[in-house]
């Protein structure tokens, strides 16, 4: 691995330090040198915030085939069956590997403890310290990655754009924030694992760093993205004035928690046969309907009928957080409201993480494997990051690209260095987030979508990628992702899963049981679930 003043040369580049990025880096480390760029601290990502757990068919009462069927059912006809089969079958192996590496999942005695979440037919969700699963997994993967001499992990490095020549990706430009300069990583293969885009909405459970950077970079480079209209809204986030939208894990309802309206009445049984454990899209729309009916701006999550010691032990992070706002969840009902949670679309990949651009792979929330369909099954996201992060690493390691052409190595790029107007950037971001929440949120229609697109394009026209302002770059990325979401939502003239259009309230399986795909031409096409364009399989040697 060679280092120059402005350029780093390595075999493999990984962008993102969540579960997918770290697992990819570990897989790649056996095949060559790896540089991993983390936007913030090495252990800060969406994964770290994951409370509920990770789903896997490991208990004696469960079967891989049941996990497969539950995932397909939750995806409302839009999951790619081959991608789901890979997830549930290989998930068993990769979870076992995590345990072997020292992940301390909760246990009852010597046996793993499994909980049940919405739309699962069995108790199959593993968790750590009740509601700190993501943090523990990151601890173990980070320790494993740091133990490898081949892996260099660089925190506080904000990726700006991919290095592309003739449709081939040879690394990325990034803002080295500690050094306050733009640098370049040259690599034979690049794995994008930069996470989600929850900050596109004013109401979100995602941390500030979830600004859609990977999706936007790939789009600017010409990669194909898919299913961008499907953004999952978590039904239950803490709703208090001035407080962040802290996630109230679905496992709370799995343990017997109830949703109640402002009149303290349970309402989910009248909306779905699974009541409080209905799929997330159903629960979110039911909460919105109850709020609209009663004129309130929140609903309640009620745990007060459950054993107090069980609640404290099972959900220590939720208990402590609510306690800090003077809410004792063992005796007080929790005010709650849906919030943007997980982007089910992303950079379109095959089953090995390959994208439409040579040398570029993607895994985790930044990618769209077809696993989640129109409505992600609870706790499948960590599993997808784990399984497909490993697979993307295997593919990148086995498919020898390079060396990096001399024309690319000598290539320079100028980023604007204007002094940013941070006040204007912050105000524009807030306007965009409110626009997306109100017009492209849980309930949509064609008129609102067109109006949102018109306003969005006007808002974004005043900003550009800048080497001196990460805030401005993040805003450009968010506007890019928002545009892709709106254009895709306009094209899907039906209601399916998390995408609900009041002007097209029914499913259209005959026409639209397909994946939407969009490229840099901003034109949406629809492809069959298992067409060669949608998913392709190829053997990769381990």
| Alpha-carbon span 389 to 12, nearest angstrom | 14
- 221 with 513: CB under 8 angstroms? no
Q: Residues 176-179: contacts with CB within 8 Å, 24+ apart?
A: 177/470
CA distances 436 to 111, 200, 427, Å, are 45, 7, 14
Place of tokens 């579960």: 19
CA distances 338 to 66, 127, 248, 496, 506, Å, are 28, 23, 10, 18, 22
CA distances 153 to 17, 40, 162, 171, 181, Å, are 9, 11, 18, 15, 18
Q: Nearest-CA neighbor of 366 among 193, 190, 201?
A: 193
| Alpha-carbon span 158 to 138, nearest angstrom | 20
- 129 with 117: CB under 8 angstroms? no
Q: Is the backbone peptide bond immediately before 403 cis, with ω within 30 degrees of 0?
A: yes
Q: Nearest-CA neighbor of 121 among 254, 257, 287?
A: 254
Spatial neighbors of 51 by CB under 8 A, at least 6 apart, are 131, 132, 133, 134, 247, 249, 251, 317, 318
Q: Is 280 a catalytic residue?
A: yes
Full strand arrangement of the beta sheet holding 125-126: 54-55, 125-126, 114-115
CA distances 406 to 23, 33, 186, 410, Å, are 30, 20, 11, 6
Exactly one of 124, 280, 285, 492 is catalytic; name it.
280
Q: Nearest-CA neighbor of 40 among 27, 58, 56, 21?
A: 21
Task: Render 110-179 in DSSP notation, one character per residue.
Answer: TEEPEE--TT-SS--EE-STTT-HHHHHHHHHHHHHHT-TTEEEE-SEEEEEEEEETTEEEEEEEEETTT
- 116 with 85: CB under 8 angstroms? no
User: Sign of the CA dihedral 36, 212, 173, 180?
Assistant: negative
The residues that are catalytic are 280
């Amino acid at each position: 691995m060679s280092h120059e003043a402005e350029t780093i040369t390595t075999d493999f580049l990984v962008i993102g330090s969540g579960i997918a990025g770290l697992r990819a880096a570990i897989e790649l480390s056996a095949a060559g040198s790896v540089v991993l760029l983390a936007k913030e601290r090495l252990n800060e990502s969406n994964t770290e915030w994951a409370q509920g757990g990770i789903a896997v068919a490991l208990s004696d009462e469960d079967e891989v085939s049941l996990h497969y069927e539950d995932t397909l059912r939750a995806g409302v006809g839009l999951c790619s069956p081959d991608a789901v089969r890979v997830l549930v079958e290989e998930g068993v192996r990769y979870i076992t590997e995590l345990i072997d590496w020292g992940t301390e999942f909760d246990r009852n005695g010597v046996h793993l403890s499994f909980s049940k979440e919405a739309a699962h037919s069995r108790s199959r969700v593993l968790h750590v310290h009740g509601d700190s699963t993501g943090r523990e997994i990151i601890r173990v993967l980070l320790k494993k990655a740091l133990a490898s001499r081949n892996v260099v992990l660089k925190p506080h490095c904000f990726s700006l754009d991919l290095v592309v020549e003739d449709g081939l990706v040879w690394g990325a430009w990034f803002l080295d924030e500690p050094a306050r300069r733009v640098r370049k990583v040259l690599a034979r293969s690049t794995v994008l694992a930069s996470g989600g885009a929850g900050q596109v909405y004013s109401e979100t459970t995602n941390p500030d760093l979830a600004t859609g950077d990977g999706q936007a970079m790939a789009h600017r480079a010409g990669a194909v993205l898919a299913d961008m209209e499907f953004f999952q809204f978590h039904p239950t986030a803490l709703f208090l004035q001035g407080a962040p939208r802290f996630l109230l894990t679905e496992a709370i309802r799995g343990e017997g928690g109830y949703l109640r309206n402002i009149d303290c009445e349970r309402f989910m049984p009248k909306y779905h046969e699974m009541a409080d454990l209905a799929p997330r899209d159903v629960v979110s729309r039911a909460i919105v309907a109850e709020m609209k009916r009663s004129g309130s701006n929140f609903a309640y999550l009620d745990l007060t009928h459950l054993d107090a010691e069980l609640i404290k032990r099972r959900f220590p992070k939720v208990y402590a957080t609510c306690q800090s706002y003077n809410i004792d969840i063992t005796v007080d009902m929790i005010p709650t409201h849906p919030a943007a949670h997980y982007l089910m679309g992303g950079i379109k990949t095959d089953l090995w993480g390959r994208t439409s651009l040579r040398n570029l792979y993607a895994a985790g929330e930044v990618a769209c494997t077809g696993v989640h369909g129109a409505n992600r099954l609870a706790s499948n996201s960590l599993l997808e990051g784990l399984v497909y992060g490993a697979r993307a690493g295997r593919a990148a390691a086995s498919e020898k690209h390079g060396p990096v052409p001399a024309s690319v190595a000598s290539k320079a790029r100028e980023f604007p260095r204007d002094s940013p107007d941070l006040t204007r950037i912050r105000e524009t971001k807030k306007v965009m987030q409110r626009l997306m929440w109100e017009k492209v949120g849980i309930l949509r229609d064609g008129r609102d979508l067109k109006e949102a697109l018109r306003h969005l394009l006007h808002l974004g026209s005043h900003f550009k990628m800048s080497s001196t302002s990460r805030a401005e770059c993040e805003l450009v990325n968010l506007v890019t992702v928002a545009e892709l979401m709106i254009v895709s939502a306009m094209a899907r003239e039906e209601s399916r899963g998390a995408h609900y259009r009041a002007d097209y309230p029914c499913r259209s399986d005959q026409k639209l049981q397909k994946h939407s795909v969009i490229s840099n031409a901003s034109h949406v096409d629809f492809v069959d679930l298992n067409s060669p364009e949608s998913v392709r399989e190829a053997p990769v040697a381990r």
